[in-house]
Amino acid sequence: MSSIIITAALTGPIATKADNPALPVTPAELADAAEACYKAGAAIVHLHIRDEKGAPTVELKRVKQCLDAIHERVPQVLTQLSTGGIEPTYEDRSKIVELRPRMASLNPCTMSFGLTEFRNPPKEMRKLAARMRELGVKPELEIYDYGHLDVALSLLKEGLLAEPLQFSIVLGVAGGAAATPQNLVGIVSHLPKGTTWQVIAVGRANLELTTIGVAMGGNARTGLEDTLYLRKGVLADNASLVARLVQVCNGLERPIATPEEAVKLLQLPEIKQA
Ligand code: KMH
Ligand code: ZN
């Protein structure tokens, strides 16, 4: 089997330090976490940015400060900015791709997200997809159910996405498909040939479903965005989650991809400079 690309999702849009004190929030904490995860085996860091008070922000100055801190400390690691999140408007969330990260998330559909609403309006989402294509920022397509995959494939037909597509199959969000092996196998069986994918297993099923995904030949993601715990009652930190995933990959004899290998495997386009 080919090398496996590990992504560390360092922070997420919802949890706070009150939930887990290891949650990286400041530029220095994000740089520390990115370095520790890179050393543990991660090729990519997926990033949500927080302001000085720890609240989600997409203010470009703050986002750039965090990206610079990470790139300065660990220039090898690939950065993937989230365009998701509940609070900032879609228009503001979309602007962060102007900072030209190597990758950014693209969520094809609006949905319930627990007791909140995750807004990804069809017209604005298409505008963002087009802009990402123009800039050479590869979309990490986050799909939370079968219908989201169909919408992503329509974007391909509309010329808004370039192949090969990269999917994250998100399972376990209240509003999306449940975190079950059946859902993972079912959605993977509908992916077109030549796509790359990983499972994002939110919450308690993180270890089991990520392991099944690795055994099925997918890439893998973990981090405090996806689970705050290593096991019941034991809080995690990002590097320990990556180290545990590396053990799983070693057990399944999947070599770990370096960031350079990840660039080739994902066929990341060249970024168009400003
Ligand atoms: N925490 C994810 C399940 C994104 O990064 O684009 C939802 C999310 C999407 O934040
Ligand atoms: Zn995210």
Alpha-carbon distance 82 to 90, whole Å?
12
> Which residues share a beta bridge with 229?
235
The closest alpha carbon to 218, from 254, 263, 171, belongs to 254
| 271 pLDDT tier (thresholds 50, 70, 90) | confident
pLDDT score, position 129 = 98
pLDDT score, position 80 = 98
User: Residues 41-49: what's their mean pLDDT?
Assistant: 98
The closest alpha carbon to 168, from 188, 190, 194, belongs to 188
227 lines ligand 1 (CB under 6 A): no
| Residue 262 CB neighbours (<10 A) | 25
Q: Is the peptide bond before 164 cis (omega within 30 degrees of 0)?
A: yes
pTM of the model: 0.98
Alpha-carbon distance 16 to 24, whole Å?
9
pLDDT score, position 273 = 82
The pair of three-digit structure tokens given for residue 234, joined into one six-digit string:
């034991």
173 lines ligand 1 (CB under 6 A): yes
Alpha-carbon distance 37 to 223, whole Å?
9
168 lines ligand 1 (CB under 6 A): no
- The answer to whether 143 and 176 have CB atoms below 8 angstroms apart is no
Phi, psi of 162 (to 5 degrees): -110, 140
CA distance between the termini of the chain: 38
- The per-residue pLDDT for range 236-270, each reduced to its tens digit, is 999 999 999 999 999 999 999 999 999 999 999 99
- The answer to whether 108 and 125 have CB atoms below 8 angstroms apart is yes
Distance 172 CA to ligand 2 centre (A): 14
- The per-residue pLDDT for range 60-113, each reduced to its tens digit, is 999 999 999 999 999 999 999 999 988 889 999 999 999 999 999 999 999 999
- The answer to whether 36 and 45 have CB atoms below 8 angstroms apart is no
Choose the residue to mutate in 10, 11, 82, 118 for probing ligand 1, maximizing ligand atoms within 8 Å of C-beta: 82
| 215 pLDDT tier (thresholds 50, 70, 90) | very high
227-233 contact pairs (CB < 8 A, 24+): 227/201, 227/202, 227/203, 228/15, 228/19, 228/20, 228/23
The closest alpha carbon to 118, from 12, 47, 206, 45, belongs to 12
Distance 13 CA to ligand 1 centre (A): 7
Burial of 151 (0-12, 13-18, 19+ CB in 10 A): middle
Alpha-carbon distance 218 to 213, whole Å?
5
pLDDT score, position 274 = 77
- The per-residue pLDDT for range 134-189, each reduced to its tens digit, is 999 999 999 999 999 999 999 999 999 999 999 999 999 999 999 999 999 999 99
> Which residues share a beta bridge with 113?
116
CA-based torsion, 58, 46, 212, 141: positive or negative: positive
pLDDT score, position 88 = 85
Q: Which atom of ligand 1 is nearest to the CA of 202?
A: 3
> Which residues share a beta bridge with 234?
231
Distance 82 CA to ligand 2 centre (A): 5
139 lines ligand 1 (CB under 6 A): no
Alpha-carbon distance 173 to 148, whole Å?
14
